[in-house]
A = this chain, B = another copy of it.
């Protein structure tokens, strides 16, 4: 029962399904029925909770993803979630695993391994960025959930197919995942800092101007590379990052073989 009843707008009282007998009369007898107007959602399940959590995430970002808001969206109270999920931390892990599961996994092909790595990490990055700063939920986590394990297996298999050494793949896999998450998190943070698109454009224009005007005596190098720093969009920077990592892995891997 809502504590205060807002005026019904339009089609009068269709929702009040049982008419009371009237003033001065006792309440009418009732057939037993489900204790609450069924509040639309079905019984609580982990999958349903994760789905609701992702909806909240899309609206508010990770910091706004609270147990209370998720519960609200499911028409219940926060305490009810604890029967299905140990707490906020586990819910974030489940959300992250669900998002990783949306990345398509290729059949490793040594002829196209670079392309395959670029594709996988770009997809991964895109999925994360499309859910605000969701990437935060993945940082500092060792892959042990089903979808993160499957993705780690495929990504490392592609790297091995490219001829990188076991050692380089083992160490590089971690770093590549860290890079994807950190990039996505940074990108997601930007629109988390509570700015309108207009403010945001203004802010970037300011940053651009700021770097262009850096005094060349105190900041000779930054001033010189300023055009190159502000001249690339997020996607170009991400692509550069992946390329430099792969080039580095190849060089280190080759150096290892040469040492044998």
What residues make up the interface of A, taking CB atoms closer than 8 Å to B? 89, 139-140, 142, 144, 149, 152-153, 156-157, 160, 166-175, 178-179, 181-183, 185-186, 189-190, 192-193, 207, 210, 214, 218-222, 224-225, 228-229, 232, 236-237, 240-241, 243-252
Complex formed: what's the CA distance from A157 to B174 in Å? 29
Q: Which residues from B are CB-within-8-Å of A182?
A: 139, 178-179, 181-182
Interface of A is mostly: helix
- What is the CB-to-nearest-CB distance from A146 to chain B, in angstroms, rounded to a whole number? 10
Q: Which residues from B are CB-within-8-Å of A185?
A: 139-140
Judge whether A221 and B171 touch: CB under 8 Å. no
- What is the CB-to-nearest-CB distance from A244 to chain B, in angstroms, rounded to a whole number? 3
23 CB < 8 A contacts A-B: A89-B193, A140-B186, A140-B189, A149-B219, A149-B222, A153-B219, A156-B222, A156-B225, A166-B224, A168-B244, A171-B228, A171-B229, A171-B240, A171-B241, A172-B244, A175-B237, A178-B186, A179-B179, A179-B182, A181-B182, A244-B251, A244-B252, A247-B251
Judge whether A166 and B251 touch: CB under 8 Å. no
Q: Which residues from B are CB-within-8-Å of A243?
A: 248, 252
For residue A157, which residue of chain B has the nearest CB? B221
Judge whether B166 and A228 touch: CB under 8 Å. yes
Complex formed: what's the CA distance from A236 to B174 in Å? 12
Judge whether B229 and A173 touch: CB under 8 Å. yes
Q: Which residues from B are CB-within-8-Å of A181?
A: 182
Complex formed: what's the CA distance from A29 to B182 in Å? 64
Complex formed: what's the CA distance from A189 to B142 in Å? 12
Complex formed: what's the CA distance from A152 to B223 in Å? 11
Q: Which residues from B are CB-within-8-Å of A183?
A: 178
Max chain B C-beta neighbours (<10 A), residue from A89, A149, A241, A244:
A244
Q: Which residues from B are CB-within-8-Å of A171?
A: 228-229, 232, 236-237, 240-241, 244
